[in-house]
Structure 1
Amino acid sequence: MINSVFKYAYPHAKIRALKGRLLSQEHLRALLHTESFEEVLHVLQMTSYADSLGDSSAADMSIPLLTRIIYRSLFGDYEKTIRSVARDIQPLFIFLYQKYELVNLKTILRGIISHADPQDIAALLLPTEQYTLFSKQSLLEYHEVHHVIEHLQGSFFQYPLNRALRRFEEEQEFFPLEMALDLHYYHSLWDTTLKLPEQERQESQRILGMWLDILNIVWIIRFKEHYHFSPEEILNYTIQHGYAFRLRERRQLAHARGSQEVREYLKTTFYAKAMEGESEVLNTLHVALYRYLVDQLHKCFYGNPFHIRVLLGYLLIKEFEISDILTIAEAKKYGFSLEQSQHYVIRMGRDSYV
């Protein structure tokens, strides 16, 4: 206990201060009840995002620009966390930050495949500046996927891209590259938890394991309904780690005959409470699951505060908050109603699951 106090006292104080800057439920409701994109920006100017927005005017603002601006807030929080934690747990937070390097690389590859203008691709890239795994500017100079892959030899992304290149060349589809990159990242993330001290390993695997379980569920439904993959193919494209789901559960989901059967199966699992009251009218299963995860993340702040759960819980909640802001901003920009929008906002779920 004493060791935990010494280890987490400083980062805990940092995170508690940052947590106080998260959007309140009142702010989220105010955002949802706006009538336009301009009103969304006005509400954000009354929150902790005001500093990031600065003097930006609605006339100059676009969704990609807003995305880059508010993600700077998250990246700043990651950098503060990484600087404050002990060296033995630092690699996990660096690797979580580097998920956005993965996002940027996929954006670049997708843009090259669709023959987008490099300036248009650059406008979509997130402003990662620390712990980078490649030069965004260098990759934007290429017009062919195989040139990007050649440039990335020797990097973290070398193995998955080399493995997927042949299939990409045969099909000229982004999917094999995307899945190779995603699976390599999430399997490597799990491997990073294995190098943590025992207590931190168990706590981080519970939190990150739930996140990976939900990613697998979302992917399995996508593979079924969009790609019409066989159960065997689906299993090949799932993450092999998680908290409540092992191979048996993933196989059960892979053999389900549709999203309704997936829902029925989930009601018999650890995630049954997430399914209570879940709407089947809209395709919001992933929202119900992420709302449940956010509720579990809030519980990280109960009881003894001197543990890794507080840090992971805050950073993941902040990520969901940014996702919600962008969901609302896009909904208002394209004229979706309050009723349509609120079904997709993750932090507006039930107060608790008991």
Structure 2
Amino acid sequence: MMITSERAYTYAKASGIIGKSFLRKRMQELAAVSRLNELDRLVFGEKARELPERALLFDLQRRIMQRTAEEILNLVKQAFPRFLAQELPVPQAMPPNLRLIQLCVQSYEYQDLKMVLTSLAKGEQTAPFHIDIAPFGSIDFSAYPHLERMVRNSEFSWLVEKGPVYQNQNLVLSLQNELDRRYYHLLWEAVQRLAYSEKGPVEDLLRREIEYKNFQWALRLKIYFDVPTEEIEKQLIQEQYRGRSLAAETIRCLSLPVDQASAWATSPYYFLLNKETPDTPWKPDPRFVQRHAALELYHRAWRYFRRYPFSLSALVCFIKLKQFEEDLLISLSEGLALGFSGKEVLQELEVSP
């Protein structure tokens, strides 16, 4: 990735950014806010804006996302100065470590593209907000609403072959799921190309992320929409780890009774599930699972960030930690807009310093 002195400087810079982020002890400051403008001042200081609360919500969320992306991009540019001083190689020609980091950053582009598909299906002429991730992006968002021009000569050109999305919500949902599966396939592929000395922590973190994503998505489809098992299987991320699909355990769980918590005790994901409460019928809560999966990945990323300094793993974990903070701040802003206090939101999210 870089010479030792560059790795040391990059890790020191990453540690400084993480230290100033609203993670661990600084979460206590989030619990003290009670209004959106207080959160704005806490996060942005003198750059906070005086806006009506409804307008402030969307404006604040956009600035939070842009702030996170900029911090990530600045550190990545520090980590790969020689590659980023020139035109970025095509994905096939990138070193495995740079390709992996590009994909981590491209998570913003994938999310923005899913929003574009939703907007196109509704016939909206104004482009939705997107995060600028130059030089890692490949979509021309300025060409909206012309999808073919937006994705021309990019990794997303296949979308055009699927047909028009206007007023076709079912196609949009299918494409959004395919984007997720393609994204994780590329991520997993990039990890498998890494040198053995760099792979371990990154592979473990990504493997768990894929497994948890499969589990929570399958529960959502089963509990909320009663989707048949064979249809759920088609929507799962089927990457292989040691000869076994990362969706295998989730598929097994789909045959378990949804009203008996004890039947799920043999699953490795049992610790993510909501517990039984007296006199209340039990069933898996997908939102509870999503929250606890995010928390488990956050704590693991924190441990790996500290345990493997000066490594590619530390850079990947830095990105994951900053994106967890971003999700936390977005959730907090939404809760404040609904009239909850910062403390109440953090309690609901089960987040603690």
Check whether TM > 0.5: yes
The match for 2:57 is 63
Matching of residue 54 in structure 1 with residue 59 in structure 2: no
Say which of 104, 115, 123 aligns to 2:123: 115
The match for 2:38 is 39
CA distance in 1, matches of 2:229, 2:78: 44
Quickly say closer, same or farther: Cα 1:167–1:43, change in 2 above 3 A: closer
CA distance in 2, matches of 1:245, 1:296: 22
Quickly say closer, same or farther: Cα 1:17–1:277, change in 2 above 3 A: farther
Q: Give the deviation of 1:110 after TM superposition.
A: 0.4
What are structure 2's unaligned runs of at least 5 residues? 84-94
CA distance in 2, matches of 1:242, 1:30: 42
The match for 1:250 is 250
**1:249 is aligned with what amino acid?**
E
**1:237 is aligned with what amino acid?**
Q
**1:248 is aligned with what amino acid?**
A
8 Å contact 1:212–1:242 — kept in the other structure?
Answer: no
The match for 1:145 is none
Say which of 114, 128, 146 aligns to 2:133: 128
Quickly say closer, same or farther: Cα 1:138–1:166, change in 2 above 3 A: closer
**2:40 is aligned with what amino acid?**
L
Quickly say closer, same or farther: Cα 1:326–1:12, change in 2 above 3 A: same
Quickly say closer, same or farther: Cα 1:299–1:96, change in 2 above 3 A: same
The worse-fitting range, judged by mean Cα deviation, of 196-205 and 82-91 is: 82-91
The match for 1:94 is 102
Q: Give the deviation of 1:201 after TM superposition.
A: 2.3
CA distance in 2, matches of 1:292, 1:319: 14
Q: Percent identity?
A: 17
TM-score by length of 2: 0.80
TM-score by length of 1: 0.79
Q: Give the deviation of 1:18 after TM superposition.
A: 1.8
| Alpha-carbon displacement from aligned partner over 1:219-259 (angstroms, at most 9, x marks no partner) | 1112213332211111111011377973431321333444x
Quickly say closer, same or farther: Cα 1:186–1:292, change in 2 above 3 A: same
Q: Give the deviation of 1:173 after TM superposition.
A: 4.5
The match for 1:186 is 184
Q: Give the deviation of 1:326 after TM superposition.
A: 1.0
Say which of 53, 77, 86 aligns to 1:83: 77
Structure 1 residue matching 2:20: 3-state secondary structure: coil
CA distance in 1, matches of 2:117, 2:76: 29
Say which of 330, 334, 343 aligns to 1:330: 334
Matching of residue 174 in structure 1 with residue 179 in structure 2: no
8 Å contact 1:101–1:132 — kept in the other structure?
Answer: yes
**1:232 is aligned with what amino acid?**
E
CA distance in 1, matches of 2:209, 2:165: 29
Quickly say closer, same or farther: Cα 1:237–1:135, change in 2 above 3 A: same
The worse-fitting range, judged by mean Cα deviation, of 124-133 and 278-287 is: 278-287
Matching of residue 137 in structure 1 with residue 145 in structure 2: no
